[in-house]
Amino acid sequence: MSHKDYKIIAAECQPIMRKVGAFINNELGKVNNSDIEVKGLNSLVSYVDKQAEIMLVEELSKLLPEAGYITEEETVEQGGKEVEWIIDPLDGTNNFLHGIPHFAVSVGLKVGDQLTVGLVLSVVSGELFYASLDGGAFLDDRPIRVSSTPDLSQSLVATGFPYQVEDVAPLIRTLGHFMRYARGVRRMGAAALDLAYVACGRFDTFYETTLNAWDVAGGAVILSEAGGALSDFRGGDDYLFGQELIASNGLIHDQVMQAIKDKFRLSY
């Protein structure tokens, strides 16, 4: 597929994202405790997540019948194809279930080892972030770019906390550093939106550990096309499947990475 094809695919995905977002929005406040399953400690899922994923797979299959899937709820056979959709049908499930209007639908397209298309829909606000390889990044129809903040001291930092963690000390040390040396820290509860917010300059950087590919894929394309930088905690490129991510405007990336290395006591 060519870069032109990726741009067309990104455009064709937009009404699909809107359709699934409308379904999720309509279910807001309707989920009962009996509808909720516990996947793991503090990790919840409802019929909304599963139905949204089924809808996405059904519609995306029409666009690329040959594609495989990597999805959070595993409602379809997983992985093993050269072309794969990476899907989080409802990023921020805890927010959704508590009526906090900050959750998203995230879709990424991977061809071989290359992420090529990304879309993140903020369900309640209706903001749709999207990008395609070498096609630029957009919020609705407006081009977006990362911030020009040059230093950590002027930066708004976003992060997330793992559902399960054996040693909280590195997380607390890192959080304390950014509380002291950045302008502010936010924990919003939806990684896909955190990435989109870095892409459009609302946040200057975002970091998190124990993320999954579906949390990252859509937003990573958007951030990259918006001029941002992505890495794992050691500065490598194993952020899609490596469960560690630093995303930034590029200008402060080294400062953020250095702090994380130090506070997590990582080898260099």
What string of pLDDT tens digits covers the 268 residues of the chain? 776 699 999 999 999 999 999 999 999 887 776 656 665 544 556 788 899 999 999 999 999 999 999 998 888 888 789 999 999 999 999 999 999 999 999 999 999 999 999 999 999 999 999 999 999 999 999 999 999 999 999 999 999 998 777 789 999 999 999 999 999 999 999 999 999 999 999 999 999 999 999 999 999 999 999 999 999 999 999 999 999 999 999 999 999 999 999 999 886 5
Are 205 and 249 contacting, i.e. CB atoms less than 8 angstroms apart? yes
Residue 168: closest CA among 209, 221, 199, 205: 209
Distance CA 255, CA 109 (A): 30
Residue 156 contacts residue 206 (beta carbons within 8 Å): no
Question: What are the Cα distances from residue 118, in Å, to 12, 176, 192, 194?
Answer: 12, 32, 10, 14
Structure tokens at 120: 């993140």
Q: Which pLDDT score, from 0 to 100, does residue 1 have?
A: 77
The full set of domains in the chain, from first to last, is: 3-143 (3.30.540.10), 152-264 (3.40.190.80)
**Residue 41 confidence (pLDDT):** 47
- pTM for the whole structure: 0.94
pLDDT at 30: 76
> Are 218 and 106 within 8 A, CB to CB?
yes
In this prediction, residue 83 carries a pLDDT of 96
What is the spatial distance between Cα 184 and Cα 234, in angstroms, rounded to a whole number?
Answer: 23
